[in-house]
Amino acid sequence: MNIAMRENYLKIVQSAFNNYAEFSLINITMEGNIIKARFTYCGSSLILYVFEPANIYLREVLVCIEDSIADRFHLPPHYIRYDDKKKLSSLCLIDKEQHVLSSYSLADLVTLYLGQVQSLLTLSPRQIDTEYLKEFEFYWNSACQLIGNIHVEAEVYLPNLETASLLNCWYSEEKKRGKYIIFPDGVEFNSCNTPKGSISTAIYIPIEVPEGIIPPQTNVPWEARDILNIVYSQTIDRISPTSFEFLRNLQVDNYRKVVIFSFSQPNSVRISVVGVLSFRNKEKKDLISKIQEDFISFTPIYSSRMDLKYLHERVGQAHMNPPSVLLLGCGSVGSYILPELVNLGIVNIGISDPDKFTSGNAFRHYLGPRSDGQNKTFKMKLFMEIENPLVLIDEIPNLLEMDDSLLSKTLAKYQVIIVAVGGTDLQRRLNYRFAKVKSTAWFLYNWLDAEGKGSHALVMRYSQKGCFNCLFYNNEELLGQSKISYADGSERVIRNGCGGSFSPYGNNVLVRNTSLAISMLQGILDGSISKNTVASIKNDFSSFKSSIAVIPIINDSFAEERCEICGHL
């Protein structure tokens, strides 16, 4: 960079400072590709850095403040990040999701940051309290410490209760890492995630008035008065009367007690944090007296929420009471659908498929080639349950081998049955059996045309007209294939010997098909689908334009009077 360019960048930064009389610019220098401007505000020293001023893609602005100044201003955590390399705290000035900083000129960028500095250093006490709450979890996690040289974390499942209560608390320790699993009664874990270790209880305390609560800091830990300010405040009722009555009568006789605090904010998922109360003895006392008389320390620990309500809200989904779902078929279609059922929050799932997985199907299946020869349902169950502690998957035997009585009992366990088996003959056979046992569940048939040319989803109840068999009639004329099929007879088939064959299609078809199936399932769950309805999408990947064109055809008038299965209704 030549001298003229360097001087120009320095003038730009200096001009930005001229717009703020409250800032006193001491000096401004440039070394290499870094501009450094020292200035004061209310007699306190700050430093503005501009990295790579000539490159809009790499350019960054940073304002640093000495720790002693940060402590004096009592800046909220939303704006202080400690930099171990520079030994300075930097101001987190910009919500980068609201600004495209590479679109700013250097002058506008520096002006933007200086304006933020001025705003942040003039916050009122009430505004500071608000900012603390915005980043409460961040500041809490920053203050987490080892407990007895052990790194301790907590996996939390909050109850739906909004009053204080005792939760189950399991603790296990391995290789200097400790883990609490905290959950209310009624939570059921799968066999891959059964809690282990020692069991006790944890205290859950929902906070109704969080304003003014300052999270602990590494150098400013919570004392007994900070805990009492929440559970026994003399000036603000931070918890409900019911919660206070519970905590006042709660007896504690341990050296340690795990505590979970939670509170809500507007436009935010409920915040929860976990810490460990330590006492000097095991003498049995009520919680408030125990804190007043025997308190030693309170240590915040890192925690992660795992309850379904939180996981729904975190991704913007409405929390629902998940239905039980039976998935028939764990082949290409079913293996894509199963993980998305879990991502909808559905935790009670049955899966049925008598076949074993073959490695040649790996590029259009959830399982990889190393699962060759393994039972599909066993491996799918294993993968889903290991990653999702609340998911309970049952392996169901082949339904076609059941008599009507057993089939009826099996179907009665589920509110939705998804039929994702390959082969039209098998689908029609299942349709006949399900109608015969008069199941009251919703059924979702999902299938692909040959070569993946079309994706189809039929949602139906057998108490209404319009079933899978109706698709093989058109104006009472019996058809050789489904009347909604996009197959035209030109489809490729890959032979596998001994009469075996495969229809070639890839994961692009399966991704689109899964979206269709999940949308139809959501229609059942939210009530937007009440009639038997079939939806179809044509899959044409011959060009870029056709590959992204998705025009579904939706039909709720496909029932045929001649259908021998539902026509008599």
* Window from 55-59, 340-344, 513-517 with minimum mean pLDDT: 55-59
Strand-pairing partners, residue 46, are 39, 65
| Confidence check: pLDDT of 387 > 60 | yes
Could you tell me where the DSSP H helices lie in 395-461? Answer: 404-411, 424-437
| Confidence check: pLDDT of 76 > 50 | no
Backbone angles phi, psi at 471, to 5 degrees: -70, -10
What's the rounded Cα separation, in Å, for the pair 477 and 68? 86
Half-sphere exposure of 61 (CA within 13 A, CB side): 23
Q: What is the DSSP string of 35-87?
A: EEEEEEETTEEEEEEEESTT-TTT-EEEEEE-HHHHHHHT--GGGEEEETTTT
pTM here is 0.84
From residue 84, alpha-carbon distances to 36, 77, 78, 89 in Å are 19, 16, 18, 9
Which residue do the tokens 């070394």 mark? 31
* Window from 51-65, 217-231, 388-402, 491-505 with minimum mean pLDDT: 491-505
pLDDT band at 78 (very low <50, low <70, confident <90, very high): very low
| Confidence check: pLDDT of 332 > 50 | yes
Task: Work out the average pLDDT over 140-151.
Answer: 88
| Confidence check: pLDDT of 342 > 90 | yes
Residues 426-441 pLDDT 10s:
999 999 999 999 889 9
Contact yes or no for 558/471 (Cβ under 8 A): yes
Residues 291-325 pLDDT 10s:
999 999 999 999 999 999 999 988 888 777 899 99
